[in-house]
Amino acid sequence: MFKKSIILSTILASFLATSVSAYVMNLNDELQRNTKLIEQYKNGIKNLEARNVYLLEQKEKNPKLYEKKPYYEETNKSYIYRVKLNGASAKNVSFTIKDHVLSIEMNMKMEEKNETSYYASSRYFYQSYSIPKNVEEDKIKHSVDGDYFVITMPKK
């Protein structure tokens, strides 16, 4: 009986030592992983703060780019449609009127290259509007207002 209790005590002590050792190892691994994550988050926060500084500088340079305007508006004299350019150049926008339908199309491609990377993107936009019967089609005008392509359709 004495031998059995010694054997059980030895097994139990061995098990506890292994468990405590494994717990300490897991704890150290977790602490190390958490420390790495904290550093990543700190770097991410620094990047976001720098991006906000840049965006605020851009907004101060050209506040009209950041104004929110309605996409459709009707006044006593005209209908006004706005298309958000999202930084695209108005020269990429095609504007046509045919068969009492006004169409806007934009096809923009962009490439950026440097010594370490290459980035390419393509954006396509198409929208058409039926021209109301009370509009003077020959007097429809388009312009750019900040970051909006604006179509003004005067009423008869």
Domain ranges of the chain: 1-61, 69-154
Q: How confident is the model at residue 78 (pLDDT cuts 50, 70, 90)?
A: very high
Q: What local confidence, expressed as pLDDT, does residue 147 receive? A: 82
152 close to 82: Cβ distance less than 8 angstroms? no
Write the DSSP string, 29-97.
HHHHHHHHHHHHHHHHHHHHHHHHHHHHHHHHH-GGGG----SEEE-SSEEEEEEE-TT--GGGEEEEE
Residue with the bigger pLDDT between 65 and 145: it is 145
Fold of 69-154: Immunoglobulin-like (2.60.40)
Phi/psi at 100 (5° precision): 65, 25
Model confidence, pTM: 0.56
